[in-house]
């Protein structure tokens, strides 16, 4: 089965599009209430968390940056096993950003844990290569596209020269520029447009679009533009809902009701900034998000 098929099956079984972010900051990181209390075993905490939220989620997404301590590879294998027992897909949030054999190594080890998909950062432009590598290793690939951090407001507006492939893009998204002094001219699209379109053409399984809100730079017009670049088969991983203030409602104006993977991290792990929350609080918060997201996508 493709990752899309697995996701849609999980959504149907769980009646949920909620993905539980799994990035518990170790106490020694100094995050205070935004991290685990002193003395808490991360693996034990994570397994209890997964079991608590599983009835209300379709996937779990461990951010690999939080799982690099001694013994964490083994912990991630246990996470995958428990998630599978609970009927959850596993998205390895590695944001692979290298080339050739190095990325392939990442996909290889992800597949051995195993996981269902891996996030990919297309900084090197090797989108087609990454899609093939991931699929050859039996995992889906979710590529970064439209981030919500303040710095990306500039990055998304960078122009990509598409002179040699202009026919691949919607004419409404093409910018023609000419420099009279040098005689240089060319066809361009914004960077996020290019990333979305190439993800579609290269067979990527999903793209990452940050949840828009009044606190960030992502607009509905950009959601609509990104949607024009992809077909109905494309999934969207939507981070930023919850503690980051992102709003999920707008995304369903443009993408299918089951095609959006809504990730909630800190507000599930530490609801109300309560880092001492236990299974009952975790379950209640996950149920709240599941029901709210179902209301939004049914509207």
State the pLDDT at residue 185. 86
> If you average pLDDT over residues 172-186, what whole number do you get?
86
pLDDT for res 234: 99
| pLDDT band (50, 70, 90) for residue 165 | very high
pLDDT score at 241: 86
Residues 24-32, mean pLDDT to the nearest whole number: 93
In this predicted structure, the answer to whether residue 240 has a pLDDT above a threshold of 90 is no
Read off the pLDDT band of 102 (50, 70, 90).
Answer: very high
Crossing angle (nearest 10°) for helices 42-53 and 72-85:
20
pLDDT at residue number 13: 98
- Average pLDDT of span 191-218: 96
* The pLDDT of residue 244 is above 80: no
For 145, half-sphere exposure in the C-beta direction (CA atoms, 13 angstrom radius) is 33
**Residue 70, CA distances (Å) to 74, 88, 213 in order:** 9, 25, 38
Q: Quick one: DSSP state of residue 151?
A: T
Residue 253 DSSP one-character state:
G
Note the pLDDT tens digit of each residue in 136-159. 999 999 999 999 999 999 999 999
Q: State the pLDDT confidence band at 123, using cuts at 50, 70 and 90.
A: very high
Query: Inter-axis angle of helices 191-201 and 220-228, to 10 degrees?
Result: 30
Averaged pLDDT score across all residues of the chain: 95
Q: What is the pLDDT of residue 109?
A: 96
Residue 235 pairs with which residues in a beta bridge? 206
pLDDT at position 180 over 70? yes
Query: Is the pLDDT reported for residue 245 higher than 70?
Result: no
Phi, psi angle pair for 41, to nearest 5°: -80, 120
CA atoms of 5 and 234, how far apart (whole Å): 11
Q: Which of 6, 54, 21 is nearest to 206 (CA)?
A: 6
Do 235 and 261 touch, CB atoms closer than 8 A?
A: yes
Integer Rg of the chain from CA: 20
Indicate if the pLDDT at residue 29 is higher than 70: yes
Domain 3-149+199-298 belongs in CATH node 3.20.20.70 = yes
Tell me, letter by letter, the H, E, C secondary structure of 89-146. EEEEEEEECCCHHHHHHHHHHHHHCCCCEEEECCCCCCHHHHHHHHHHCCCEEEEEEE
- Tell me what the mean pLDDT of segment 26-45 comes to: 93
The pLDDT of residue 183? 72
pLDDT surpasses 70 at 164 = yes
Decide if pLDDT at 201 tops 60. yes
Q: Which bin fits 256, alpha (ψ -120 to 50), beta or left (φ > 0)?
A: beta
What confidence score (pLDDT) does residue 179 get? 83
Domain spans in the chain, listed from the N-terminal domain onward: 3-149+199-298
């Amino acid at each position: 089965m493709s990752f899309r098929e697995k996701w849609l099956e999980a959504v149907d079984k769980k009646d949920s599009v909620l993905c539980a972010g799994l990035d518990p900051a170790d106490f020694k990181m100094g995050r205070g209430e935004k991290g685990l209390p002193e003395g808490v075993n991360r693996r034990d905490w994570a397994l209890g968390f997964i079991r608590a939220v599983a009835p209300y989620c379709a996937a779990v997404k461990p951010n690999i940056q939080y799982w690099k301590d001694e013994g964490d590879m083994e912990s991630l294998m246990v996470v995958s096993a428990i998630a599978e027992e609970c009927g959850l897909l596993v998205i390895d949030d590695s944001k692979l950003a290298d080339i050739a054999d190095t990325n392939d190594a990442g996909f290889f080890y992800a597949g051995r844990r195993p996981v269902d998909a891996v996030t990919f950062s297309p900084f090197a432009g090797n989108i087609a290569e990454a899609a093939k590598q991931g699929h050859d290793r039996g995992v889906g690939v979710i590529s970064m596209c439209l981030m919500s951090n303040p710095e990306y407001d500039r990055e998304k507006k960078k122009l990509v020269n598409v002179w040699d492939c202009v026919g691949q893009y919607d004419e409404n998204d093409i910018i023609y520029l000419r420099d009279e002094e040098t005689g240089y001219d060319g066809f361009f699209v914004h960077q996020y447009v290019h990333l979305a379109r190439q993800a579609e053409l290269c067979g990527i399984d999903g793209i990452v679009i940050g949840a828009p809100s009044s606190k960030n730079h992502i607009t509905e017009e950009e959601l609509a533009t990104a949607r024009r670049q992809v077909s109905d088969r494309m999934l969207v991983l939507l981070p930023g809902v919850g503690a980051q203030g992102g709003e999920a409602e707008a995304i369903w104006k443009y993408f299918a009701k089951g095609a959006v993977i809504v990730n909630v991290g800190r507000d599930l792990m530490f609801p109300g900034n309560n880092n001492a929350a236990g299974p009952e609080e975790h379950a209640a918060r996950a149920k709240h998000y599941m029901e709210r997201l179902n209301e939004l996508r049914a509207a």
